Chains A and B, each alone.
Chain A
């Protein structure tokens, strides 16, 4: 018999819900079958912890006396530019923002030691952050300069708002060229020297609910060690990616936009990182509970690493030039074994997303639900699905000066 989220929440409140991780459900479904598993298990917890560039935070730092309007002016947080194009004292800081005087890749590959992601981590860690504002001054906001320390505890609102997280599957990056290259998937040694992948595979949220039957707008999630919600589909959302028979996409597919109170998060799970030669980005921890409402959902959450295929892509040529070429397909069991075969060569693998920490998050969320501290929400709207869902398009470039 199918369950409802309301029924599951009643069990959670009574401390009677049966909750397992996306790893543990695999054996249960193998032994008992999906129908029986759907009867016995109420919630399966999924998780991921990896670099997610389209992340950032907005906050309101409060009005100074006299007042200043950062909007239309310039603001720096520990030297990193924040977006000011809002009202007087709201700012948005993105993970990949860099100080103006960062040398970037002038001496290649650049270090990118400190950027927006590190500012966000420092705020979450409760460290003082230097805020510098230059404004043009108005009759109502006369002040033109502000240079002050701020701290997350004094901010009116501090909100993590990430426009694209939790990618459903991702490329495996390799380098066919003769020199080392530096990418957002890490340092790639020449001539297929290594292969880097970036997904928690069988633990990853959207790979466990491939058609987003339970995940939608309003789904309550574990975000950065605190509480967050799915706000919208993420950017570059692509439900049309090719899928295997089990419904799991074989290419980068659907994504989530997520939002949550930065004040409740932890610097362990909201962590600034730097990719040499590429830039800064934010490691974000996300856990998504999947209510096991029926047999079909139980079958989907039992997906194993060996059932999830992904594409091996050359990041020296095919990726940067936007060519669709794929060097082959591998599964996550092969990737996690430490070695894959590409073009007849054995290539050592590295994960960029932390499987170990994804396990920690899935376990933490499981315990919170078991203790009745985390209730599930009913989604308030579906994310786009079916043939009418928007297609993910490349830029239709229309050069202003075609001769240039």
Chain B
């Protein structure tokens, strides 16, 4: 079994079609929707955590791409602009998954682990220099 976090970008002509349910039906994948925003006449975005056999995840992703859905790893979504970051650490007790964390308690360096990030965006506004960016 494997788990992957992915972002699906639906072109506007596809947003009225049932697509994601095929992941369950045809590929036996379990998914958890972390975030979704679909607005008429615009692209739709959905962040998913999918769990299943690795080969089935790959086939499921291939299916999505065949349907015209763009699939990207979730880690692309949240970026820390390190030039802007003041290394305070205000984000680390806000982050629910410890994706933002103190790397070394001696130096108190703030770091980001994209693998742990669920793109909940709770960190965006509490960051005093607004160094955390959402990229879709």
Contacts of A186 in B (CB 8 A): 90, 126, 128
- Contact between B91 and A274, CB atoms less than 8 A apart: no
Nearest first, the 9 closest Cβ-Cβ pairs linking A and B are: A273-B128, A194-B93, A355-B108, A350-B93, A187-B126, A348-B93, A356-B87, A351-B89, A276-B125
Question: Is A51 an interface residue, CB under 8 A from the partner?
Answer: yes
C-beta contact mask, B23-58 vs A, less than 8 Å → 1, else 0? 000000000000000000000000000000000000
Give residues in A with beta carbon < 8 Å to B: 49-51, 109, 111, 113, 186-187, 189, 193-196, 271-276, 281, 283, 336-338, 348-357, 359
Known contacts A187-B125, A274-B128, A356 near B94 by CB under 8 Å:
no
Q: Is the CB of A359 within 8 A of B107?
A: yes
29 residue pairs from A and B, CB less than 8 Å apart: A50-B88, A51-B128, A187-B94, A187-B126, A193-B93, A196-B93, A271-B86, A273-B86, A274-B128, A274-B129, A281-B128, A283-B129, A336-B108, A338-B92, A338-B102, A338-B105, A348-B92, A350-B89, A350-B91, A351-B88, A351-B90, A352-B89, A354-B86, A354-B87, A355-B107, A356-B87, A356-B107, A356-B109, A357-B86
Neighbouring B residues of A272 by C-beta, 8 Å? 129
Closest residue of B by beta carbon distance from A358 = B108
How far, in angstroms, from A352 to B110 measured CA to CA in the complex? 12
Contact of B94 among A113, A189, A195, A273 (CB under 8 A): A189
| Contact of A354 with B88 in the complex, beta carbons under 8 Å | yes
In the bound complex, do residue A194 and residue B94 qualify as a contact, i.e. CB atoms below 8 Å apart? yes
Q: Is B108 touching A350 in the complex (CB atoms < 8 A)?
A: no
Of the candidates A51, A194, A336, A348, which one forms a contact with B105 in the assembled complex, judged by CB atoms under 8 Å apart? A336
Q: Is B70 an interface residue (CB 8 A)?
A: no
Is B130 part of the contact surface with A, judged by Cβ < 8 Å? yes
A113, A189, A193: the one contacting B130 at CB < 8 Å is A113
B86, B91, B94 pick with most chain A CB within 10 angstroms: B86
Residues of chain B with a CB closer than 8 A to A276's CB:
125-126
Question: Is B94's CB under 8 angstroms from A350's CB?
Answer: yes
